[in-house]
Structure 1
Amino acid sequence: MPSVRQVSGGRINHLMYSGWIRRAMPAPQVTTRLEDVTSTRTSNQRSTAMINVRRRAALGLIAGAVGVATVTGVTINANAAESTVAPGTAAVAGQSAVVANPSLDIDAALRAAEATFKAAEKGGHRVTVVVLDRSGNVQVQLKGDGAGPQTAESAKRKAYTAASFGQPTSALAGRVTGQGATLRDIPGTLFLAGGVPVTVDGQVVGAIGVGGAPSGDLDEQYATTGTATLR
């Protein structure tokens, strides 16, 4: 098997094969004409220029689309090439699904509660007056000096019952007689006279409940006085 050794002297390496030396073949040289280099360089420059032009045009289109989107309220997704309606616009479109429920406002509730309370004071009775909105939430509660502790709960439940069924509790009392389940089994209701609904154009917007007078008829009379101030 031939041995290979590199000789350090001189620029040209020699290979020694079985005692004789042969000069290594010089590496082939590549000759390139100046015209070819210039032509290639010009072609590359043209290709680069075309790419830059295309990039600028694409960026210009995207910038223009974003500018239009800012004015019209549309968000442009450059990656997905999709447009979506801005959240504000979608909210306006969805307003048709919103239902307005009229309810007694706080000023009217205060007037009704004060009128009811004054009527009870004038009659010489210590009562508690509760005014609810359409959803059964307490808006006003006036507890007179010396009114019993049970009067607040009684007035609230009477008002809740009147608001729920849209009728005075005295008229509803006849529906809870008999055996088996009845309306009185509904939590939060009380079918004793003293609760009166507040209506506007035939629609219930709240209710007034009174508790503490010697009879339910008197409680309801005072509550009716309060509703009269709202007409």
Structure 2
Amino acid sequence: MKFLQQHFPLLLIAAVIFSIPAKAQLITQKTLSLEASKKIVAAAVVYAKEKAAPGGAIAVVDNGGNLIYLERLDGTFAAASEVAIKKANTSALFKAPSAKLENAINSGRQALITVGHTFLQGGIPITIDGQVVGAIGVSGSASAQQDEDIAIAGTKANISN
């Protein structure tokens, strides 16, 4: 008991010092819910129909590139679903539009091809408060530009409520 009384202040200081680094290592990260993902896809579908897209597969992934939600419009070719998922995955993992990476390859950075992602226009990151929380990928519409436009429309969905 005498030892504890004599060394209590030192033990208290040590406990405080060792607890500070643990707290400093915690990061708060937002994540996409299934409900938010469905709202994003719904906004993309509305835009696609307004622009008379002949089809399209629309995928939303989390910030790790894992599929949360996928919807394929009628008239879309079967492989579009896989391509949309891969575009979204690429965009989420690189935290950039997939078109930026496609343009880098077309401008001579062919080594990017070797990393195993889909560098095709149509993947757009989804950001909340400056943090990439996922991405949307679209494939199978009338053009690569329309894929991207549909994806951008999806990112404008109100998912805050």
TM range (shorter): 0.7 to 0.9
Listed as ranges, the matches of 1:185-204 within 5 Å are: 185-187=114-116, 189-204=117-132
Tell me the number of residue pairs that the alignment of Structure 1 and Structure 2 aligns.
137
The TM-score normalised by the length of structure 1 is: 0.54
Following the alignment from structure 1 to structure 2, what is the Cα–Cα distance between the partners of residues 117 and 184?
30
Contact kept, 8 Å, 2:55 with 2:142, in 1: the verdict is: no
1:175 pairs with one of 104, 108, 119: 104
1:121 pairs with one of 49, 52, 60: 49
- In structure 2, the CA distance between the partners of 1:202 and 1:150, relative to structure 1 (3 Å rule), is same
The TM-score normalised by the length of structure 2 is: 0.76
Letter in 1 for 2:41: A
More helix by proportion, 1 or 2? 2
1:150 pairs with one of 79, 84, 90: 79
Q: Could you say what secondary structure the match of 1:226 adopts?
A: helix
Deviation at 1:159, TM superposition (A): 0.5
Tell me which structure has the larger Cα radius of gyration.
1
1:88-127 deviation digits (Å, cap 9, x = unpaired): xxxxx79735544322122211100111122112222211
The percentage of counterpart residues that share the same residue type is 32
What residue in structure 2 maps to residue 107 of structure 1? 35
Q: For structure 2, list consecutive stretches of 5 or more residues without a partner in the other structure.
A: 1-18
Contact kept, 8 Å, 1:160 with 1:207, in 2: the verdict is: yes
RMSD of Structure 2 on Structure 1 (CA): 2.1
Q: Could you say what secondary structure the match of 1:191 adopts?
A: coil
The higher relative CO (CA closer than 8 Å, separation ≥ 6) is in: 2
Following the alignment from structure 2 to structure 1, what is the Cα–Cα distance between the partners of residues 135 and 121?
13
Contact kept, 8 Å, 2:98 with 2:121, in 1: the verdict is: yes
What residue in structure 2 maps to residue 213 of structure 1? 141
Moved over 4 A (4+): none
